Each structure stands twice: as structure tokens, then as C-alpha cells.
Amino acid sequence: METSLVFFPQLNMCESKEKAFFKLIHGSGKEETSKEAKIRAKEKRNRLSLLVQKPEFHEETHSSRSGHLAKETRVSPEEAVIWGESFDKLLSHKDGLKTFTTFLKTEFSEENIEFWIACEDFKKSKDPQQIIVKAKAIYEKFIQNDAPQEVNLDFHTKEVITKSITQPTLHSFDAAQSRVYQLMEQDSYTRFLKSDIYLDLTEGRPQRPTNLRKRSRSFTCTEFQDVKSDVAIWL
């Protein structure tokens, strides 16, 4: 009894990656010659190389990995010294507000300044619908129990806001904003003036890396997608 031997062509395990990739993509179509496949693969490699070299292709930058601020604040020592004269002068200066916010993030208490900024923007509202929409967003974000960024308020202040939130006015958050302002002025501002973040600016030293936690969600203008906002900085 004779045994029939069937010979299978030996697979070329060393086949180039370019040719294998080309066959995988175009396997159902008409086969191209090895030379054509190599030419196409080379072109793809060249295009990929150019793409990888583009800065926007990379997900992280050195500054983000090291914890630096996204944009370095350039402040003269003279300007920084003025911030130390009063809390109001600090908040009224654009860079002062940004620097103080950075400091609060290192203390995990940035909800206070974000609430204060939201109230400042709220008081500029003119359209009745704007007032209702913004008031509801502020209440849900900062005031109600277990709010994502609940600020520290006494029971009476919270109760008054809760009862009036269905018919808010431009003064609905005045008491709460004043309370948070006082807390920051008496507590956070004092520590800010003694911090490396502030002292480095007053003495003209380069900014140091600042370890900031990532917020899962910040209070930004996107809270009011259908409402125009007058505030220039949302942090």
C-alpha cells in the first residue's frame, strides 16, 4: 500500500513586516508584486515618521509631567509686593488671582476661589433667564449638600439660599460670597503671603515646580453652554 505524501510550500517566516502588513490590509484584493509592496510600505513609514515628529502628536509635555503650570506667570517683584498690601488688591489683579488659585490648589481648597469667581460673574447677569440658569448651576456645584465642590457655609446661610433658589436675584449669593471671602482673607491669604509661590515672585526667583492635583471636573463656562459669560478667567 503506497502512502501519498502531500508537500506544503514552506512558509517564509522571515518575510518582511512591510510585506506582511500590506498583505493583511489588501488580502482580499489583487496581489501586488513584492517590489510594489515594499515601495508602499516605505512611503507609509516616511509618513508615520513625519507624524511622530509633530509636537501635537505627543500626549504629554515635559512641563505637564513635572507638574509645572501650563503657562508660566510673568510677574515683576514690584507687582507681587502690591498683592501683599491687601487681599482685595490680590484678587483685583489678573495674575494675582491666577497665582492665588494655584496656591489654593496645593492646599486642596480651590473651590473657595472658584465659588467667589462664579459669584462675581453671576452678579453681572442681565437677562432673567441667565440669572436662573447660573444660580441653579452655582447652587448645585457649590452650595447644596454633597455638592462636587461644596464650600464651607453655616446652616442659616445655606438655608436662605436653598429657599430662594427657585426665584433667585442678583443678590442671592451675597452672604455666602462674603463669608467665603472672609475665610480666604483671614486664613488662606495669610499662608499665601508666606508661601514659596509668593516669595519667589517678590524676590524675582524662577518659579519652582508645583504639584497640583487633577480635578475631575472644574467649574467653567461650559456649565452655561447657552449663556454668555462676562468673566474672563475661569479656573
Give 54-78 pLDDT, tens digit per residue. 444 333 333 333 344 434 557 999 9
Q: Which is higher by pLDDT, 3 or 160?
A: 160
The pLDDT, as a whole number, for residue 205 is 84
* Mean pLDDT computed over 220-229: 42
* Mean pLDDT computed over 208-233: 46
Residue 218 to residue 1: CA distance in whole angstroms: 82
The pLDDT, as a whole number, for residue 72 is 55
| Residue 184 and residue 126 in contact, taking contact as beta carbons nearer than 8 Å | no
| Residue 79 and residue 93 in contact, taking contact as beta carbons nearer than 8 Å | yes
| Residue 170 and residue 122 in contact, taking contact as beta carbons nearer than 8 Å | yes
Could you tell me which of 80, 51, 59 has the C-alpha nearest to residue 202? 80
Residue 54 maps to a domain = no
Q: What is the pLDDT of residues 140-184, one digit of tens each?
A: 999 999 999 999 999 999 999 999 999 999 999 999 999 999 999
The pLDDT, as a whole number, for residue 125 is 96
Residue 55 maps to a domain = no
Residue 102 lies in domain: 77-203
68 burial (CB, 10 Å; 0-12 / 13-18 / 19+) is middle
Residue 16 maps to a domain = no
Domain containing residue 190: CATH number: 1.10.167.10
Considering the chain, what is the average pLDDT of its residues?
Answer: 75
